[in-house]
Amino acid sequence: MRLNKKLFYIIMVLLLLAGAYAGLKNWTVVSNDAISSNEALPNPNISDLLSSANFTQPAEKISAPDFSLTSLEGDKSSLSQYKGNVVLISFWATW
């Protein structure tokens, strides 16, 4: 019974690693120099992004309200700073 449990865990870890490798091999690597120099990153067409995720583009544009947040380092960042770029916001908590 114990061997089956170990074999199960080994197979699960290998599957997770294979999935992570398959997902990461298509990522574009951006150097820290490009990020720190505020160079524009490639900005794909929104219509292409939406259609690749099986979403349809809204009939009319809806603007998100501008807000600002403070980073862990104390820097303020607002949504309006990223105008024209795709922004993914993930809200999560640590409690």
Round to whole Å and give the CA distance between 75 and 83: 18
Asked if the structure places residue 25 within a domain, the reply is yes
pLDDT confidence of residue 37: 54
pLDDT digits (tens, 9 = 90+) for 2-17: 667 888 888 888 888 8
Round to whole Å and give the CA distance between 15 and 26: 18
Question: Is the pTM above the cut of 0.85?
Answer: no
Residues in contact with 64: Cβ distance below 8 Å, sequence separation at least 6, in sequence order: 79
Number of domains the chain contains: 1
Question: What residues make up the domain containing 76?
Answer: 2-82
Asked if the structure places residue 87 within a domain, the reply is no
Round to whole Å and give the CA distance between 78 and 11: 44
pLDDT digits (tens, 9 = 90+) for 45-74: 777 777 788 877 678 888 888 989 898 889
Asked if the structure places residue 11 within a domain, the reply is yes
Asked if the structure places residue 94 within a domain, the reply is no
